[in-house]
Amino acid sequence: MSVIQVNGLSKHFGTLKAVDHLDFSVTEGEVFGFLGQNGSGKSTTIRMLLSLIHPTSGSIELFGKPLNKYRDEILEEVGAIIERPDLYPYLTAKEHLQLFAKLRNKHVGENSIQDTLVKVGLADRSKDKVQTFSLGMKQRLGIAIALLHNPSLIILDEPTNGLDPQGISDIRNLIKQLAQQEGKTVLVSSHLLSEIEQMATQIMIIHKGKKVADGPIQKLLDPNKMIVHIKTTNDAQTLQIILSGSFSNYLLQRNDGIYLRLPDYEIPLLNTSLVNAGVGLIGVETRNSLEDYFLQVTSNTI
């Protein structure tokens, strides 16, 4: 079942097309990585999913219901943090949770509040005012507010901002646990591509408001399409060999070295061709990370 179904979604700010005819769906229980460069339209899309921004056109359905008609009912089942963890500096962590618990129609008792504080690692700072919190602690409290009412859909925009490596690892494990053990659907955007790679089951990449790639992460990072960086003693000769043979189709246009995108079984053949031609091979570096893929689809080079 699709928890999020977006069709033809657009948002224009004057002449700027922040989001341009976006289509995607997120299935129940999946961790959906939402990627894009700064200003690519990620936050605008997330804000439209939370009805903070009115779309220019297109439709959003959450839990099979149109958001514009069933907003209040839908948001009861959604928990979110959006970009920065902005909170009330004069209130304590516990007071924040108590206030937001009151704004939910579901009953959220003191035990749930305490459990949530433990879950995000803030139990021992629950009575401290937020103005004394570090950015990472505010981020944890923001996540606590999102999880407090036990929502079915969790939307996290840059949830690891400001967190230290331990905090990042904790949040990654928490997100995995929410999806795998509790069956929650999680849409997460992050600049930390390695984090998304470790937790997401599906990803979507947008660039200048348009979708440029989506699908299961294993499929997108196909081992048959390795990126290979070749370092030789004679780059000009190497290029000549590649261009004159069957490897020419795999060559990527880059100025900082010789790069090819080719199946892993082709690598030994290329190696042999170069050695047979007398090219001194310094090294063959293979890469197949989400970062490479992301850079490739958002800049047309790797």
Partner 1 sequence: MKAIISIELYKIFRRPRTYIAFGAIAALIMVIQLGLKMDGQSYASFLMKDINDTLTVDGKVLNGYLICYILLQLLLVHVPLLVALIAADMISGEANLGTLRLLFTTPYSRTQLVMGKFIAASIYTIVLLIWLAFLALFVSMWIFGTDDLFLLKSNYVVLIQEKDVLWRYVGAFVFASFALLTVTSLGFLMSSMANNSIGPIVGTMSAIVFFTILSTLNIPLFAAIKPYLFTTHMNNWKEFFDIKVNENNEAIYGTILNVAKIKNSIIVLTLHIILFVTASVIITKRKDILS
* Cβ 259 vs Cβ 286: under 8 Å: no
Q: Which is nearer to partner 1, 102 or 219 (CB)?
A: 102
Closest contact distance (angstroms) between CB of 28 and partner 1 is 20
* Closer to partner 1 by Cβ: residue 90 or 265: 90
CA 80, 143, 168 angle in degrees (round to 5)?
120
Q: Are the C-beta atoms of residues 229 and 302 closer than 8 Å to each other?
A: no
8: left (phi over 0), alpha (psi -120 to 50) or beta: left
Tokens standing for 168?
A: 């990042």
Q: Minimum CB separation from partner 1 for residue 55, in Å? A: 10
Main-chain dihedrals φ then ψ at residue 21, nearest 5 degrees: 50, 65
Nearer to partner 1, 71 or 176 (CB): 71
Q: CB–CB of 61/55 below 8 Å? A: no
Q: Given the complex with partner 1, which of 184 and 261 has the nearer CB atom?
A: 184
Q: Quick one: tokens of 124?
A: 């021992």
If DSSP states are collapsed to H, E and C, what string results for 251-273?
EECCCCCEEEEECHHHHHHHHHH
CB of 50 to partner 1, least distance (A): 5
- Smallest separation, CB 268 to partner 1 (Å): 53
Nearest approach, Cβ of 176 to partner 1 (angstroms)?
24
Which CB atom, from 71 or from 191, has the smaller least distance to partner 1? 71
Pick the closer one to partner 1 by CB: 74 or 279: 74
Least separation in angstroms between residue 244's CB and partner 1 is 54
Please classify residue 274 by burial: count the beta carbons closer than 10 Å to its beta carbon, then call 0-12 exposed, 13-18 middle and 19+ buried: buried
| CB contact set of 180 (below 8 Å; sequence gap of 6+) | none
Token pair belonging to 79: 């928990």
| Chain positions contacting partner 1, by CB under 8 A | 47, 50-54, 71-76, 78, 80, 82, 84, 86-91, 95, 99-100, 102-105, 145
Minimum distance, C-beta of residue 60 to partner 1, in the bound complex (Å): 14
Tell me the residue length of the chain: 302
Q: Which is nearer to partner 1, 92 or 190 (CB)?
A: 92
DSSP, collapsed to helix, strand or coil, labels residue 173 as helix
